């Protein structure tokens, strides 16, 4: 490894037909106190830079260990070859193995100490599923690859942090997945990482109910009475500072949020629309519970914007900065 205390951050390519290449190119023009290794096909980056009418200096690394400190306008690339030429905005299933291979290489490099963290631009879950393997998200992909019993999806904007009990599953399956076990594992893991990774002494976590009005005393659903409340009571006895279950429609108001550290939502579209409304373009997605540090953007592949110059790189820059901070904290710990 080079003689530097700067963290080494792997940045994966994301879906090559989406805005991943665009935001990598534009974010590379900012300053970061780290060594940034982009795992991508350099041809894709060169082609997209041309389409965007912008100059980038692509430095192909022969080894990750040779990566210099980030310099504005330079992209240090560890080359991973795509199968087919990429057309901005047009998905091509033949490039799905390329996308998956950048994710595996980044995670394996992180597990064996080459990288201190991974930052992932967006992938297109649908096209990855068309290869015949189910891909529901990076969160679950890294969970499997790292053999982690429980991972937690948490997004953070300047206004709030929101974590999820369930991640990418059909709405019809959510109620069955809200169990004492799932709530307990996520709440404990979240509490632990808010303490260890974010330096909070006793995190105050607001917990959403599942049903409208948190079940209205059982008249609009029984999960709060049968599952959520008893589980939260048991977790409080372990010392967790949990408030709830609160009706999700009024929990996301200043009165509750102002002195809370995090919201625990029961499912993806209960928590994330509010978070994204509060800070789309400047929020970061963090996977807690992994043995590695992984952050990501708050947006998807935006195929409509690829190659147009209209993609906002704000969330990628926040994701990189957040990964650098987490990696520096982990080095100090
Ligand atoms: N971290 C990841 O890998 C994520 C991947 N996705 C995937 O992205 C794909 C498309 O998802 P959608 O729901 O359409 O969401 P999307 O975020 O790609 O697009 C939603 C809207 O926001 C705009 N938008 C998105 N990112 C933007 C940016 N950086 N700058 C300016 N405008 C931006 C798009 O043009 C579109 O109008 C799906 O396959 C989904 O699974 C979605 C979220 C996160
Ligand atoms: N809405 C966030 C999202 O879907 C990102 O998922 P992942 O790919 O980070 O698991």
164-186 residue pLDDT tens: 999 999 999 999 999 999 999 99
CA–CA dist 293, 327 (Å, integer): 7
CB of 302 shorter than 6 A to ligand 1 = yes
* pLDDT tier at 331, thresholds 50, 70, 90: confident
Q: Which of 127, 126, 156, 122 is nearest to 139 (CA)?
A: 122
Cα 135 to chain centroid, rounded: 15
Among protein residues, the one with the nearest Cα to ligand 2's atom 3 is 137
For 218, other C-beta atoms within 10 Å of its C-beta total 12
Q: 3-state DSSP helix/strand/coil percent for the chain, to nearest 5?
A: 40, 20, 40
Domains of the chain: 1-148+290-332 (3.40.718.10), 150-288 (3.40.718.10)
Q: Which of 138, 140, 302, 306 to mutate to test the pocket of ligand 1 (most atoms within 8 A of CB)?
A: 302
ipTM of the prediction greater than 0.90, yes or no: yes
290-303: per-residue pLDDT in tens? 999 999 999 999 99
* pLDDT tier at 259, thresholds 50, 70, 90: very high
CB 46 within 8 A of CB 82: no
- Beta-bridge partner residues of 62: none
Whole-number pLDDT of residue 3: 47
Q: Is the entire prediction scored with pTM above 0.90?
A: yes
Ligand 2, atom nearest to 141 Cα: 10
Whole-number pLDDT of residue 1: 47
Among protein residues, the one with the nearest Cα to ligand 1's atom 16 is 300
35-59: per-residue pLDDT in tens? 999 999 999 999 999 999 999 999 9
């Amino acid at each position: 490894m080079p003689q530097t205390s700067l963290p080494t951050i792997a940045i994966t390519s994301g879906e090559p037909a989406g805005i991943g290449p665009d935001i990598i190119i534009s974010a590379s023009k900012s300053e970061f106190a780290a060594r940034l290794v982009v795992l991508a096909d350099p041809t894709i980056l060169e082609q997209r830079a041309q389409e965007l009418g912008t100059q980038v200096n692509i430095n192909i690394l022969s080894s990750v260990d040779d990566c210099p400190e980030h310099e504005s306008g330079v992209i240090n690339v560890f080359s991973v070859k795509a199968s087919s030429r990429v057309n901005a905005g047009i998905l091509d299933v033949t490039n799905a193995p390329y996308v998956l291979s950048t994710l595996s290489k980044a995670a394996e490099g992180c597990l064996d100490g080459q990288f201190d963290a991974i930052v992932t631009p967006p992938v297109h879950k649908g096209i990855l599923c068309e290869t015949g393997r189910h891909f529901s998200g990076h969160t679950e992909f890294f969970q499997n690859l790292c053999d982690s019993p429980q991972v937690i999806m948490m997004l953070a904007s300047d206004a709030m942090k929101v974590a999820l009990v369930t991640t990418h599953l059909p709405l019809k399956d959510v109620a069955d997945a809200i169990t004492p076990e799932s709530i307990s594992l996520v709440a404990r893991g979240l509490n632990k990482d808010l303490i260890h990774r974010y330096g909070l002494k006793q995190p105050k976590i607001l917990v959403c109910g599942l049903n409208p009005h948190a079940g209205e005393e059982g008249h609009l659903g029984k999960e709060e009475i049968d599952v959520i409340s008893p589980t939260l009571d048991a977790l409080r006895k372990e010392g967790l500072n949990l408030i709830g279950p609160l009706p999700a429609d009024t929990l996301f108001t200043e009165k509750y949020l102002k002195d809370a550290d995090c919201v625990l939502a029961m499912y993806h579209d209960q928590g994330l629309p509010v978070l994204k409304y509060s800070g789309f373009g400047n929020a970061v997605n963090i996977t807690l519970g992994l043995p590695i540090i992984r952050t990501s953007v708050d947006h998807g592949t935006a195929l409509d914007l690829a190659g147009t110059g209209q993609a906002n790189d704000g969330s990628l820059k926040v994701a990189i900065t957040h990964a650098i901070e987490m990696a520096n904290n982990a080095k100090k710990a």
